[in-house]
């Protein structure tokens, strides 16, 4: 399916996986709206995207603030003159033992990673429903399929995203909205490298552009086909 002329909103699009997806879609002729908290990163990414010949805009807000998410998403839809695709990518990772991690940190991880997906999807859904079709890609993690030591909050948040996303899919596919749940393994991002999960070796470890190509190819599938769930791993890290 040709993506040229579509409009995509990518949360957490100023860096890492979100930026890589934004660039991959822009190379297909998709107009891009990105969100995040770091305005400088957003501005720099937008300038890079505009050089690819598509429309691009950004909105600064914290994904854990429902009102701000709604206002920011609505503004991007207006700037882009519509929305066809939502990439729910924004998230945080705080790692540590159950004993060490303060409950406030634990709650913030859940608020950002789970409620952020819910808020953004709820903000975009009415536009896709009115149009009669669309795509929502919810980025979870293999940590959400099987928890591990020192990642209780992160794993729990991503497990909840998987269940939320599957529930969205069951309801919204009846409106011709494809809801896709992706559970990538460790990718060389600032979060994973700083968290000590990987050294990011590009010879062995998944890179953001690998993930971006995967997302692009899934979205290009004929609309009669829906990838409900999918994982991607490094071959031999």
In a domain, residue 133? The reply is: yes
Q: For residue 199, what are the domain limits?
A: 7-232
Count of domains forming the chain: 1
List Cβ<8 Å contacts ≥24 apart for 120-126. Answer: 120/9, 120/11, 120/63, 120/69, 120/73, 120/86, 120/88, 120/90, 121/86, 121/88, 121/168, 122/70, 123/69, 123/70, 123/73, 123/74, 124/9, 124/73, 124/77, 124/83, 124/86, 125/172, 125/177
154 included as an active-site residue: yes
In a domain, residue 41? The reply is: yes
In a domain, residue 60? The reply is: yes
Give me the pLDDT at residue 186, please: 84
Give me the pLDDT at residue 188, please: 82
First to last CA, the chain: 33
Please give the full DSSP string across 125-186, using - where no structure is assigned: HHHHHHHT-EEEEEE--GGGTS--TTBHHHHHHHHHHHHHHHHHHHHHGGGTEEEEEEEE--
Task: For 40-49, write each residue's pLDDT tens digit.
Answer: 999 999 999 9
In a domain, residue 2? The reply is: no
In a domain, residue 124? The reply is: yes
What's the pTM?
0.95
Which entry of 58, 118, 119, 154 is annotated as an active-site residue?
Answer: 154
Give me the pLDDT at residue 118, please: 98
Give me the pLDDT at residue 195, please: 63
Cβ atoms < 10 Å from Cβ of 101: 17
Give me the pLDDT at residue 54, please: 98
Closest CA to 47 of 30, 60, 34: 34
In a domain, residue 237? The reply is: no
Task: For 169-209, write each residue's pLDDT tens digit.
Answer: 999 999 999 999 999 998 887 666 666 677 777 888 899 99
In a domain, residue 51? The reply is: yes
Q: Mean of the per-residue pLDDT values for the chain?
A: 95
Cα separation, 155 vs 157, whole angstroms = 5
Query: Do residues 14 and 36 touch, judged by C-beta distance below 8 A?
Result: yes
Q: Which residues of the chain have pLDDT under 50?
A: none
3-state secondary structure at position 231? strand
CATH number at residue 11: 3.40.50.720
In a domain, residue 202? The reply is: yes
């Amino acid at each position: 399916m040709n993506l040229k002329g579509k409009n995509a909103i990518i949360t957490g699009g100023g860096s890492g996986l979100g930026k890589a997806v934004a660039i991959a879609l822009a190379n297909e002729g998709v107009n891009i709206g990105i969100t995040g908290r770091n305005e400088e990163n957003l501005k720099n990414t937008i300038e890079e995207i505009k050089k690819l010949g598509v429309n691009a805009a950004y909105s600064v807000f914290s994904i854990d603030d429902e009102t701000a998410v709604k206002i920011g998403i609505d503004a991007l839809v207006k700037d882009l003159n519509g929305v066809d695709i939502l990439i729910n990518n924004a998230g945080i990772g705080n790692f540590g033992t159950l004993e060490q991690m303060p409950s406030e940190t634990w709650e913030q991880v859940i608020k950002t990673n789970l409620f952020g997906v819910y808020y953004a999807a709820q903000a975009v859904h009415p536009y896709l429903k009115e149009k009669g079709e669309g795509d929502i890609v919810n980025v979870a993690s293999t940590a959400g399929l099987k928890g591990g030591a020192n990642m209780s909050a992160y794993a729990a948040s991503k497990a909840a995203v998987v269940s939320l996303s599957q529930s969205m899919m069951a309801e919204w596919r009846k409106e011709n909205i494809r809801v896709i749940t992706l559970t990538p393994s460790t990718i060389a991002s600032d979060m994973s490298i700083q968290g000590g999960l990987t050294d990011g070796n590009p010879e062995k470890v998944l890179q953001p552009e690998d993930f971006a190509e995967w997302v692009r190819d899934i979205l290009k599938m004929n609309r009669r086909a829906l990838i409900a769930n999918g994982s991607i791993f490094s071959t031999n890290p």
